[in-house]
Structure 1
Amino acid sequence: MSKILVFGHQNPDTDAIGSSYAFAELSRLRGLDAQAVALGEPNEETAFALDYFGVKAPRVITSAKTEGADTVILTDHNEFQQSISDIRDVTILGVIDHHRVANFETESPLFMILEPVGSASSIVYRQFKAEKREISKATAGLLLSGLISDTLLLKSPTTHESDFAVATELAELAGVDLETYGLAMLKAGTNLAIKTADELIDIDAKTFELNGNNVRVAQVNTVDIAEVLARQAEIETAITKANAENGYSDFVFMITDIVNSNSEILALGQNIGKIEAAFDFELKNNHAFLAGAVSRKKQVVPQLTESFNK
């Protein structure tokens, strides 16, 4: 078999980078010519993890075919609109994911490991463990980082009961204190002042097809929601531009307070009534508080999906 590219979703977060890096390593141990790549530059949080464990950031690509590869493995995603530009022109050998399945079909059989756990990194770690494969400190560190990122240090409702043991084991393998390292990594990703508004709304953003509407849902983590909202005018300008240029019907911007586990929702688009109905709130000056919400996967996208399908 020729070279296989392993990658997470566009605008990769720490779980996308960590899970693809580790699964490419596992694939090589299985005898495959697998290489981890990325569909975007790492954010500050991910860069912190890569630097901490001495791992070079995966090479960024935009097309599989131009890399001379016709076979890929997806981690941390399966929806085609979140994947590489020529995803329909390559063979998908496998998928490792913890999200919903949507807009996905293949011509050939493939392996799929889909589990409702806190991170794709959790799944990859348990694959190493099941096969009794040795796992390096760096790989364990990146998998731990992916789990911490996606579960906000095991505090998100997306956290599965099995993730606590996984986190403990990975922290030991990585040689770090879970709480100390986890807080430092999460805080590294909250320096939003250095970002332009265009960058801010694209740090961690995914597009979802909801009943014929392309809805962009972005999330940023912070320790001060008010500080982000102080930039509302420029953020709204960036969102309006993004909607026009990319054909998004709506843009939902989730500003998450990682300390108090709440979010503010800023939304612009054609279906504001459906967005308000999804969360049973009223947007005032285009934004509203969403108590206890920290997970896009469990506390935002399912509610939007239900509302848009009515």
Structure 2
Amino acid sequence: LDLNVSCIVVCQGAEISDEIIAQARRKEIVIIRTPHDTFTVARLINQSIPVNCFMTKEGLITFGMKDYVDDVKAVMATKKFRDFPVLDGNKSFLGFISRRRLLNSRRKQVILVDHNEKSQAVDGVEEADVLEIIDHHRLSSIQTIGPVFFRNQPVGCTATIIYQMYQEEEIEIDSVTASLLCSAIISDTLMFRSPTCTSLDEASARRLAEIGNINIEELALEMFNAGSNLKGKSAEEIIFLDFKQFTVNETVIGVGQVNSMNTSELREIKAMVLPHMEEARKKNNLDMIFFMLTDIVTESTRLLCCGPEALSKVIMAYDLNEDTEDIILRGVVSRKKQLVPTLVGALQQ
């Protein structure tokens, strides 16, 4: 240690005191303890090959933590290596993944809530094992490997179904969860004004409000004012704030919506969003974009649209005058029940 050697090899498994280890650590001296005698150690050292003689730094086949399993399998199938290094975002080594482990890998398990369309699901859902679907929308394109528990009810909000499940399982619901579920019902049903709202939605919301100790009318006013307060957001952020994508035959459409209790605020949003809709449509490879500016007080929607034939499809769907440019849909407040089915019908004709 006093000579500052690089490495000390201690033979025959001799004990090394903590003091010696501490001194070696301070001087960054490597200590190797071996059960072999001195002669055997000397012979093995002469037979050893430095790591840098067979390691390489270039052309490495590595994987990242966010790589999809199918992509990793495809690369492994073309190589003869048994193990492959896994790196983090900073290209630091995390560990190895082996062929054997990958073959036994379990799919991610997911439950789809409030949607059943692939385009609205998380990325990579086709590689996941879907266990359940709980929804209140139209049936669409999700495919599952095997039978799943599927619960779809024609109510105004999926939170109503979730509350039913709490009741059926006789699980007591805490005040925070009750408040969140109540808020969801208020939002989805526009405080019971939407045509999608059922008596079950309203009864569930009022019971949840009691559990959460909240005033529905006051909460609704605060929620809708906060939801339409879009200061600091770009036009594109506003368009995709509450946005859903649908595929009808081979036509891909997107429908966004903003709800407000303030007519002048909706006019400001229109002026901001309208010039950017065409750019957003092309950027996201959509055939058409429809944007609903819904006035909760008057229970009507000003509909903005862009894309080839978008305006003509709306005119046909709602039987409007052919020279209509400013589209006001009286009594239309629900994207799910009043707008999308009508547009889908027009697109299918």
TM-score for the superposition, normalised by structure 1: 0.75
Structure 2 distance, partners of 1:69, 1:200, is: 35
AA aligned to 2:179 is: G
Q: Does 1:289 align with 2:328?
A: yes
Note the alpha carbon deviations across 1:43-93, whole angstroms, 9 max, x for none: xxxxxxxxxxxxxxxxxxx99979x97110011101000111111110110
- Secondary structure class of the residue paired with 1:214: strand
Higher RCO (CA 8 Å, separation ≥ 6 residues)? 1
How far off is 1:280 after superposition? 2.0
Which of 310, 316, 334 aligns to 1:277? It is 316
Structure 1 alignment gaps of length 5 or more: 1-61
Deviation at 1:140, TM superposition (A): 0.4
- Aligned pair 1:126/2:164, yes or no? yes
Q: Which whole-Å CA distance do the structure 1 matches of 2:68 and 2:191 have between them?
A: 33
- Counterpart residue number, 1:55: none
C-alpha separation between the residues in 1 aligned to 2:252 and 2:163? 33
For residue 130 of structure 1, what is the amino acid of its counterpart? Answer: E
* Contact 1:225–1:264 (CA under 8 A) maintained in structure 2: no
Question: 2-side partners of 1:290 and 1:114: how far apart?
Answer: 28
Is contact 2:301-2:332 (8 Å) kept?
yes
Q: Which runs of 5+ in 2 are unaligned?
A: 1-65, 70-87, 89-105
Structure 1 residue 229, shift from structure 2 partner: 3.4
Which residue number in structure 1 is paired with residue 250 of structure 2?
A: 212
* Counterpart secondary structure, 1:264: strand
Give, in whole Å, the separation in 2 of the partners of 1:290 and 1:189: 21
Q: Partners in 1 of 2:232 and 2:323 — Cα distance?
A: 27
Instruction: Please state whether the residue corresponding to 1:235 is helix, strand or coil.
Output: helix
CA distance in 1, matches of 2:205, 2:167: 13
- What SS does the aligned partner of 1:154 have? coil
Task: Report the CA distance shift for 1:63/1:118 in structure 2 as closer, same or farther (over 3 A).
Answer: farther
After superposition, residues 242-257 of structure 1 pair within 5 angstroms as 242-257=280-295
- In the other structure, the counterpart of 2:227 is 189
RMSD after superposition? 2.3
* 1:262 matched to 2:292: no
TM-score calculated relative to the size of structure 2: 0.67
2:38 paired residue number: none
Q: Distance in 2 between matches of 1:238 and 1:290?
A: 22
Alpha-carbon distance, 1:241 to partner: 1.4
1:303 is aligned to 342
Change (3 A) 1:205 1:63: farther
Q: 1:138 aligns with which of 176, 189, 199?
A: 176
Inter-partner Cα distance in structure 1 for 2:176 and 2:202? 20
Specify the code of the residue in structure 2 equivalent to 1:235.
V
User: How many pairs are equivalent?
Assistant: 248
State the distance in 2 between where 1:200 and 1:283 align: 29
- Residues 1:185 and 1:196: Cα distance change in structure 2 (over 3 Å): same
Does 1:198 find its partner at 2:233?
no
SS of match in other structure, 2:177: helix
Q: Return the letter of the residue paired with 2:339.
A: V
Q: 1:94 to 1:305 in 2, by over 3 A?
A: same
Q: How do residues 1-310 of structure 1 correspond to structure 2 at under 5 angstroms?
A: 70-230=108-268, 232=270, 234-271=272-309, 272-282=311-321, 286-310=325-349
- The structural deviation recorded for 1:285 is 8.1
**Partner residue of 1:5?**
none
Change (3 A) 1:230 1:184: closer
Secondary structure of residue in 2 paired with 1:259:
coil
Shift of 1:183: 2.1
CA displacement at 1:225 relative to structure 2: 3.9
Percent identity, aligned pairs only? Answer: 36
Give the Cα–Cα distance (whole angstroms) in 1 for the partners of residues 190 and 67 of structure 2.
31
Letter in 2 for 1:110: V
What SS class does the counterpart of residue 229 from structure 2 fall into? coil
Whole-angstrom CA distance in 1 between matches of 2:283 and 2:203:
44
Between Structure 1 and Structure 2, whose CA radius of gyration is higher? 2
With over 3 angstroms needed to count, the CA separation of the structure-2 counterparts of 1:177 and 1:240, relative to structure 1, is: same
**Amino acid of the residue matched to residue 242 of structure 2?**
D
